[in-house]
Amino acid sequence: MKLPRNVKIFRGQLDAAPFAGVFFLLVILLVLESKLVFSPGVRINLPAVRQALPGANTPTVVVAVDLAGHYYYQSQGISEEKLQKELKAVVQGANEPLTLEILADQSAALEPAFRLMSLAGDIGFQEILCVVRPQPLPKKVEGPSL
């Protein structure tokens, strides 16, 4: 039995309205997801420096100190005693030397950061870095030569 073949390939113009609708819907969803999502956290203004500083070449552990001198570890506020226990557990569980990165607010008192450095040295961290925000170097303006 032979079936009739009367189906023809569409050769007209495509309607752009459905494509535009999907495109604008995707744009709206991307904008809403990236801009309107609230990211909780404590604002820490890092000090700025104009020189290039070395980074860490070993795995790092990050602890933040805010303006009031409170410690934050793994995005959670933590007391000094609990922080000491957590850091000891991390150092003991590591199979290579660790670097402690301290994110201290530029207006914070230095005492909490110094206590943390002393604590980290006693626990067994091999290197301690105070994280700063790099400041762009001024561009050199070359004038006409005389």
- pLDDT (tens digit, 9 = 90+) per residue, 79-118? 999 999 999 999 999 888 888 988 888 888 888 888 998 8
Please, which pLDDT band fits residue 35 given cuts at 50, 70 and 90?
low
Say how many CA atoms lie within 13 Å of 1 toward its Cβ.
1
Alpha-carbon distance of 94 to 104, in angstroms, equals 24
Does residue 104 sit within a domain?
yes
The count of domains in the chain is 1
Does residue 19 sit within a domain?
no
Does residue 92 sit within a domain?
yes
- Per-residue pLDDT reduced to its tens digit, 49-75: 777 677 777 888 999 998 888 999 988
Does residue 41 sit within a domain?
no
Full residue range of the structural domain in which residue 119 is found: 68-134
Does residue 38 sit within a domain?
no
Does residue 31 sit within a domain?
no
Please, which pLDDT band fits residue 8 given cuts at 50, 70 and 90?
confident
